[in-house]
Amino acid sequence: MTPVIDDTHDPARRSWVESANRPGCDFPIQNLPLGVYCGIEDVSVRIGVAIGDFVVDAGLPGGSLNAYFALPATQRRDLRKALVKKLEAGSRPCELVPQSECSTWLPAVVGDYTDFYASIHHATNVGKLFRPDNPLLPNYKHVPIAYHGRASSLIENGVPVRRPNGQLAEGKFGPTRELDYEVEVGAFLGPGNALGEPIPVARAREQVVGVCLVNDWSARDVQRWEYQPLGPFLAKNFATSVSPWVVTAEALAPFWVDAPAHDVPVLPYLQEAGSGALDITVEVWLRTKALAEPHRLSRGQFKEMYWTFGQMIAHHTSNGCRVRPGDLIASGTVSGPEKENRGCLLELTSKGAEPVRLPDGETRTFLEDGDEVILTGYCQRPGFARIGFGACRGAVLPAVVG
């Protein structure tokens, strides 16, 4: 699949929505991400387009993007062109709703959610904490590792996260003392495949209809105790935050780049030609009860992931597993080679041994009650408009004890 770059990506294009023309705006007219929203007065749930600081009704039926994810690429491109025409400078203005006066919802009814482990930097950093002499397991460079998540625990942007209880490493039950975040990039899939029919890697990227930010909240002490031999369970399935605005595959067309070279040959069904990586910068910010302004904890590059979305999808369906419109896959923690690139506190603090120091003198090894984690992301390339992802927010509430 060759991404289609056309006049909708022209950086000179302007909107009659003035805030969309502001330098550094996440949602210029070249972006037009889709989401599900309602206003304060009109509480009907609708599909909208983020433009500048506002939302415009996209004119699509229903209260989820599942039907949109099922459309062929040609129809999605036609819709994009129609929205650009509607919002470009010189067109007749239509009704705008300030984003500050909107509630947003999960973009889709997610039937299945799969979380990958695609960053070799993350896998190596974490592996060194537990297996210093053998950080990467033998299969890592041969197969995209993943586990099936819990779709019922996917939550909307801004919904607080209750500190979970669980069995701890000492064999006791109680609130996790090592609550963590994981900054990830998610892909909503469509139109899908029939059961028993693998999606070849050459066609796999066609299934990436839109991209979002994902925070896969994690209870590290619970995880250590439970994860062998079958992998994460209660340490992961209590909450996964999803950003509200889905940046479309069409908006991302200019930002596909070459993936890092593999030093171990992969099997033919995973050999991907062309530019398979997406050049997305992701950042993690932390606001505490005492810290009025959020502090940036890390910045990572999604293009450095060892496995691409195409390879993830090809492997996911290689046994004939069915994917359906609105299914969500996530990349796993986005980390890089330097400490400032590490996408979770487990890595940043070396399992709690090196606390993070905040500007007001506070320190963190893991998250405390009242902390708010904010994920942001953007694509940037000379000759094209900056494309933002908005924010994925979640604050920590105390555990239910009793």
Instruction: Check residue 400 and give its pLDDT.
Output: 94
pLDDT band at residue 385 using 50, 70 and 90 as cut-offs: very high
pLDDT digits (tens, 9 = 90+) for 172-209: 999 999 999 999 999 999 999 999 999 999 999 999 99
pLDDT for 1 beyond 70: no
Catalytic residue among 9, 121, 122, 316: 122
Closest among 288, 83, 316 to 187, alpha carbons compared = 316
Catalogue all structural domains in the chain, each as residue range(s) with its CATH number.
7-105 (2.30.30.230), 113-397 (3.90.850.10)
pLDDT band at residue 171 using 50, 70 and 90 as cut-offs: confident
pLDDT for 231 beyond 90: no
pLDDT digits (tens, 9 = 90+) for 98-154: 999 999 999 999 999 999 999 999 999 999 998 888 889 999 999 999 999 999 999
pLDDT digits (tens, 9 = 90+) for 329-367: 999 999 999 999 999 999 999 999 999 999 999 999 999
Instruction: Check residue 169 and give its pLDDT.
Output: 78
pLDDT digits (tens, 9 = 90+) for 3-15: 899 999 999 999 9
Q: What pTM, to 2 d.p., does this model score?
A: 0.97
**SS3 string of the chain?**
CCCCCCHHHCCCCCECCHHHHCCCCCCCCCCCCEEEEEECCCCCCEEEEEECCEEEECCCCCCCCHHHHCCCHHHHHHHHHHHHHHHECCCCCCCCEEHHHEEEECCCCCCCEEEECCCHHHHHHHHHHHCCCCCCCCCCCCCCCEEECCHHHEEECCCCEECCEEECCCCCEEECCCEECCEEEEEEECCCCCCCCCCCHHHHHHHEEEEEEEEECEEHHHHHHHCCCCCCCCCCCCCEEECCCEEECCCCHHHEECCCCCCCCCCHHHCCCCCCEECCEEEEEEECCCCCCCEEEEEEEHHHCCCCHHHHHHHHCCCCCCCCCCCEEECCCCCCCCHHHCCCHHHHCCCCCCCEECCCCCEECCCCCCCEEEEEEEECCCCCCCEEEEEEEEEEECCCCC
Told to judge if 122 belongs to the known catalytic residues of this protein, a careful annotator would answer yes
Tokens describing residue 100:
């500050």
> Mean of the pLDDT values across residues 302-324?
98
Task: Say what percent of the chain tops pLDDT 70.
Answer: 100
